[in-house]
């Protein structure tokens, strides 16, 4: 059977024929396949041509698998680094939240002390105001008692003057009649009136004076209470924790509203901690997914096609059975893409693989086909050295 008859055989018959040839001869012939419309270089004159064999394809595939593994490793390292950074951020956010809460508690205690002091000062000031009012009332009572004393003294002086005048009139030499009994009775009655007025005067004055002294003592106690309350705040406290006593109540009333700067800072720190924990959860889930999933290897056909397309168009190329070591499915898929991948290049495909031969026999004439037979195995075959 000649080469022309072989080219006209169906694919399955050509495959069988090629297999028969390979099994019948100790050294299977190498078929020369032309790919493309341009004239392919002759295998005999291949000094300036680029030769590509199974080892080159194996290196392409190995390099692609290594690159995919490296990318997966880099992705995992990046996720682990992000996770470590997120864990550190979560720790910092937790510490910041603790600090904010501690500061808020201290501020709340300080404000509570301030409000307690305000209540105490209000009570002390009210007590002092009541004591001063009581003191003023007692002083007015003492003044009234003193005025009453003066009125009683005036009455006493008038009574004494009347008694003296009565005595002088009843004891004068020119008096016509002296009624000693009447004089003695009048004088006795006047002494009773004077004694009663003197006792009333002394009682009113002493009572007013006692009440005045009590009011003065209460005022002193109120002053001491207010002074002690003020000293409790100003004594032994840090300067930044003090607040001015002038306008004290309006300031505290304005600061006693809900929330405040401390509450806002604590809420902000809590939100930051929640965001950090959420980020840690997302990265942990992503890392677990990467650990469960296998490394996605590249498509062998895509790797080989990229390698073939990188061959320069200005030089001739000899493909020395580069697909020999691949499985049948990959070989079939790659052979279907081979003319397009090698478009515009001078390519000669040397093969003793029945799979490639069957494909080459079925190629249209404008795409390529079997161009001849070269005695002996391809150069990559160990039998080539023996030949």
Question: Among residues 216, 236, 255, which one ends one of the domains?
Answer: 255
Instruction: Give the model's pLDDT for residue 59.
Output: 93
State mean pLDDT over 348-374. Answer: 89
For residue 251, pLDDT beyond 70 = no
Instruction: Give the model's pLDDT for residue 1.
Output: 40
Over the stretch 81-122, which tens digit does the pLDDT of each residue have? Answer: 998 999 999 899 899 888 888 888 887 777 777 677 777 777
Q: Binning pLDDT at 50, 70 and 90, where does residue 161 land?
A: confident
Q: Verify that 251 and 322 share a domain, yes or no.
A: no
Q: Binning pLDDT at 50, 70 and 90, where does residue 345 land?
A: confident
Domain interval for residue 250: 109-255
Averaged pLDDT of the chain? 75
Q: What is the pTM of this model?
A: 0.51
Q: Verify that 138 and 219 share a domain, yes or no.
A: yes
Q: Verify that 251 and 113 share a domain, yes or no.
A: yes
For residue 82, tell me if it sits in a domain.
no
Instruction: Give the model's pLDDT for residue 236.
Output: 46
Q: Verify that 236 and 334 share a domain, yes or no.
A: no
State mean pLDDT over 132-154. Answer: 80
For residue 282, tell me if it sits in a domain.
no
Question: Among residues 215, 234, 255, which one ends one of the domains?
Answer: 255
For residue 85, tell me if it sits in a domain.
no
Instruction: Give the model's pLDDT for residue 154.
Output: 78
3-state secondary structure string across the chain: CCHHHHHCCCHHHHHHHHHHHHHHCCCCCEEEEEECCCCCCCHHHCCCCEEECHHHHHHHHHHHHHHHHHHHHHHHHHHHHHHHHHHHHHHHHHHHHHHHHHHHHHHHHHHHHHHHHHHHHHHHHHHHHHHHHHHHHHHHHHHHHHHHHHHHHHHHHHHHHHHHHHHHHHCCCCCCCCCHHHHHHHHHHHHHHHHHHHHHHHHHHHHHHHHHHHHHHHHHHHHHHHHHHHHHHHCCCCHHHCCCCCCHHHHHHHHCCCCCHHHHHHHHHHHHHHHHHHHHHHHHHHHHHHHHCCCCCCCHHHHHHHHHHCCCCCCEEEEECCCCCCCHHHHHHHHHHHHHHCCCCEEEEEECCHHHHHHHHCCCCCCEEEEEEECCCCCCCCHHHHC
State mean pLDDT over 30-49. Answer: 66
Question: Among residues 255, 271, 298, which one ends one of the domains?
Answer: 255
For residue 115, tell me if it sits in a domain.
yes
State mean pLDDT over 303-310. Answer: 91
Q: Verify that 117 and 206 share a domain, yes or no.
A: yes
For residue 286, tell me if it sits in a domain.
no
Domain count, the chain: 2
For residue 322, tell me if it sits in a domain.
yes
């Amino acid at each position: 059977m000649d080469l022309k008859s072989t080219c006209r055989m169906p694919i399955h018959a050509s495959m069988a024929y090629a297999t028969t040839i390979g099994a019948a001869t100790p050294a299977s012939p190498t078929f020369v396949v032309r790919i493309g419309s341009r004239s392919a270089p002759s295998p005999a004159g291949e000094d300036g041509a680029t030769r590509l064999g199974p080892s080159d394809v194996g290196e392409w595939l190995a390099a692609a698998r290594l690159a995919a593994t490296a990318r997966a490793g880099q992705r995992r390292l990046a996720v682990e680094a992000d996770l470590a950074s997120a864990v550190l951020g979560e720790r910092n956010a937790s510490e910041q939240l603790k600090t904010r809460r501690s500061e808020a508690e201290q501020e709340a205690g300080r404000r509570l002390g301030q409000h307690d002091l305000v209540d105490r000062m209000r009570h002390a000031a009210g007590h002092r105001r009541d004591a001063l009012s009581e003191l003023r009332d007692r002083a007015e009572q003492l003044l009234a008692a003193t005025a009453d004393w003066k009125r009683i003294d005036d009455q006493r002086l008038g009574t004494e003057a009347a008694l003296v005048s009565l005595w002088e009139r009843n004891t004068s030499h020119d008096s016509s009649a002296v009624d000693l009994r009447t004089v003695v009775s009048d004088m006795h009655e006047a002494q009773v009136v004077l004694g009663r007025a003197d006792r009333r005067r002394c009682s009113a004055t002493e009572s007013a004076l006692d009440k005045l002294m009590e009011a003065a003592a209460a005022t002193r106690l109120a002053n001491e209470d207010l002074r002690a309350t003020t000293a409790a705040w100003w004594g032994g406290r840090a300067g930044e924790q003090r607040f001015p006593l002038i306008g004290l109540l309006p300031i505290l009333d304005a600061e006693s509203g809900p929330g405040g700067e401390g509450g806002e800072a604590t809420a902000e720190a809590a939100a930051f901690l929640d965001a950090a924990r959420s980020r840690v959860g997302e990265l942990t889930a992503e890392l677990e997914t990467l650990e469960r999933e296998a490394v996605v290897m590249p498509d062998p056909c895509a790797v080989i096609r990229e390698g073939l397309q990188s061959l320069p168009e200005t030089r001739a190329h000899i493909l020395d059975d580069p697909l020999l070591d691949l499985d049948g499915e990959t070989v079939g898929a790659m052979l279907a893409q081979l003319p397009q991948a090698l478009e515009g290049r001078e390519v000669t495909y040397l093969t003793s693989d029945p799979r490639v031969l069957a494909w080459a026999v079925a190629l249209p004439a404008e795409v390529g086909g079997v161009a001849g037979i070269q005695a002996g195995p391809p150069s990559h075959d160990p039998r080539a050295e023996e030949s």
